[in-house]
Amino acid sequence: MNRRYRKTIIAGNWKMNKTASETKKFAEELKTLLPKAKWCDVVVCVPAVNIPAAIKAFKDMRVSVGAENVFYEKSGAYTGEVSADMLKDLGVKYVIIGHSERRQYFGETDVTVNKKVHAALEAGLHPIICVGESLEQRELGITMELIALQVKSALAGVPAEKLRRCVIAYEPIWAIGTGKTATAEQAAEVCTFIRTTVRHLYGARIARSITIQYGGSMKPSNAAELLAQPDIDGGLIGGAALKPDEFVNIINAANQE
Please identify which residue in 215, 226, 232, 234 interacts with ligand PEP, judged by CB under 6 A: 215
Single out the segment in contact with ligand PEP by CB under 6 A; choices: 55-63, 145-153, 158-166, 234-242: 234-242
- Comparing CB distances to ligand PEP, the nearer of 30 and 207 is 30
Please identify which residue in 54, 163, 191, 236 interacts with ligand PEP, judged by CB under 6 A: 236
| Active-site amino acid positions | 99, 171
Residue 53 backbone dihedrals phi, psi, to 5 degrees = -60, -40
Q: Please state the closest distance from residue 119 (CB atom) to ligand PEP, in A.
A: 21
Q: How many residues bind ligand PEP (CB under 6 A)?
A: 14
Positions in 43-72 near ligand PEP (CB under 6 A): none
132 contacts ligand PEP (rule: CB under 6 A): no
Q: What is the 3-state secondary structure (H, E, C) of the chain?
A: CCCCCCCCEEEEECCCCCCHHHHHHHHHHHHHHCCCCCCCEEEEEECHHHHHHHHHHCCCCCEEEEECCCECCCCCCCCCCCEHHHHHHHCCCEEEECCHHHHHHCCCCHHHHHHHHHHHHHCCCEEEEEECCCHHHHHHCCHHHHHHHHHHHHHCCCCHHHHCCCEEEECCHHHCCCCCCCCHHHHHHHHHHHHHHHHHHHCHHHHHHCEEEEECCCCHHHHHHHHCCCCCCEEEECHHHHCHHHHHHHHHHHCCC
Q: Please state the closest distance from residue 54 (CB atom) to ligand PEP, in A.
A: 17
Single out the segment in contact with ligand PEP by CB under 6 A; choices: 111-119, 150-158, 159-167, 211-219: 211-219
216 contacts ligand PEP (rule: CB under 6 A): yes
Q: Which residue has its beta carbon closest to ligand PEP?
A: 238
Q: Please state the closest distance from residue 28 (CB atom) to ligand PEP, in A.
A: 23
| Contact call for residues 213 and 128 (beta carbons, < 8 A) | yes
Positions in 133-192 near ligand PEP (CB under 6 A): 171, 176-177
How many CB atoms are closer than 10 A to CB 30?
Answer: 22
Please identify which residue in 8, 13, 50, 252 interacts with ligand PEP, judged by CB under 6 A: 13
- Comparing CB distances to ligand PEP, the nearer of 202 and 247 is 247
238 contacts ligand PEP (rule: CB under 6 A): yes
Q: Which positions lie near ligand PEP, rule CB under 6 A?
A: 13, 15, 171, 176-177, 215-218, 236-240
